[in-house]
């Protein structure tokens, strides 16, 4: 249906209490075939959606094969011949007051045209450490993409934006680095890639996983997941943020302290170039990550 007709009641539980989970999935057009769009790691995204849903006592509405087929149909029927972004979500659909969870749920998914957040050759982004701490796993688990938890990110983004910076970094309550605003963080130090570990209240990012594998297998880099101190950020040779929507965002400065030369570093640029080729089906070894769709 047209997106303007896809509405919910204002008393829907998910709207009142944030009880929904979602994914962001990217699709990429190909230069060789403008009508063909490659959906990147769709199965992994729906697997994570399933795990997120379990936290709120929900489930995928269908088996994986059907979810992938629905994705193909939606993108094909949209008629887009450009890069796209898909947002599947599962939400508590009861129309009532009361925070308790029940078994009433619905599934929805929409698709939009989506360009690149970072343009090649542009300067990196300025980031600042937010005073807002990252949600703890025993409060609202970051491993699950729960709609209500994104208030945490909204507050931190608003804070650093008011201070004239582009993106926030959030620390855990113990002072170690967690992540950015819906993005994971990588540092380059002494030729190694360092990223906060899975126990640092991060979302276990699919882009993060892809880049770890590409860095190790294609660039021969050592990738380390561990606690990252605040002061270590200032000492980084390179830094970048990554996520489905943003892809790879080079970081130019942290708290107005330049990172390296203040320009995107060599390893960051190598990964951006490689990742851009992989998502568009230009690297044979990773075509199994792609779900091809022919637009209507």
Percentage of the chain beyond pLDDT 70 is: 100
pLDDT at residue 252 in the model: 97
Considering only CA atoms, which of 223, 54, 227 is closest in space to residue 143? Answer: 54
Reported as a single tens digit per residue, the pLDDT across 151-192 is 999 999 999 999 999 999 999 999 999 999 999 999 999 999
Q: Once rounded to an integer, what is the mean pLDDT over residues 143-158?
A: 97
Instruction: Tell me the per-residue pLDDT of 21-43, one tens digit each, with 9 for 90 and over.
Output: 999 999 999 877 877 999 999 99
Q: Which two tokens stand for residue 214?
A: 């590409």
Quickly state the pLDDT bin for 115 (edges 50, 70, 90): confident
Burial 82-102 (b: 16+ CB within 10 A, else e): ebbbbebbbbbbbeeeeeeee
Q: Domains for the chain: give ranges and CATH numbers.
A: 3-115 (3.30.470.10), 125-279 (3.20.10.10)
**What is the C-alpha separation between 146 and 84, in angstroms, rounded?**
22
Helix (H) or strand (E) holding 207: helix 206-217
pLDDT of residue 257: 97
Confidence of residue 116 (pLDDT cuts 50, 70, 90): confident
Active-site residues, by number, are 145
Measured distance CA(91)–CA(76) in Å, rounded: 25
Of 108, 110, 105, 8, which is closest to residue 59 (Cα–Cα)? 105
CB–CB of 185/239 below 8 Å?
Answer: yes
- Tens digit of pLDDT for each residue in 29-88? 987 787 799 999 999 999 999 999 999 999 999 999 999 999 999 999 999 999 999 999
Q: Look at the pTM and tell me if it is higher than 0.85.
A: yes
């Amino acid at each position: 249906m047209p997106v303007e007709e896809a509405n919910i009641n204002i008393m829907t539980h998910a709207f009142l209490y944030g009880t929904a989970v979602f994914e962001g999935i990217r699709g990429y057009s190909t230069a060789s075939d403008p009508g063909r769009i490659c959906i990147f790691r769709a199965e992994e995204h729906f697997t994570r959606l399933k795990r997120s849903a379990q936290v709120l006592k929900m489930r995928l509405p269908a088996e994986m094969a059907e979810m992938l087929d629905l994705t193909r149909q939606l993108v094909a029927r949209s008629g887009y011949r450009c890069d796209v972004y898909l947002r599947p979500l599962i939400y508590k659909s009861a129309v009532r007051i009361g925070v308790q969870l029940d078994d009433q749920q619905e599934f929805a998914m929409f698709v939009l045209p989506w360009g690149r957040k970072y343009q090649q050759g542009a300067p990196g982004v300025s980031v600042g450490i937010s005073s807002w701490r990252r949600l703890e796993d025993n409060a609202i688990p970051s491993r699950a993409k729960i709609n209500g938890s994104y208030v945490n990110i909204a507050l931190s983004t608003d804070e650093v934006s008011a201070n004239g910076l582009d993106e926030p970094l959030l620390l855990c309550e113990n002072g170690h680095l967690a992540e950015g605003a819906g993005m994971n963080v990588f540092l380059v130090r002494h030729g190694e890639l360092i990223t906060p570990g899975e126990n640092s209240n991060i979302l276990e990012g699919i882009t993060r996983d892809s880049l770890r594998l590409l860095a190790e297998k294609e660039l021969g880099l050592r990738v380390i997941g561990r606690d990252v101190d605040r002061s270590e950020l200032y000492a980084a040779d390179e830094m970048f943020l990554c996520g489905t929507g943003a892809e790879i965002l080079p970081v130019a400065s942290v708290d107005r302290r330049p990172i390296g030369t203040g320009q995107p570093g060599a390893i960051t640029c190598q990964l951006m170039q490689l990742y851009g080729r992989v998502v568009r089906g230009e690297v044979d070894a990773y075509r199994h990550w792609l779900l091809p769709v022919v637009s209507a």
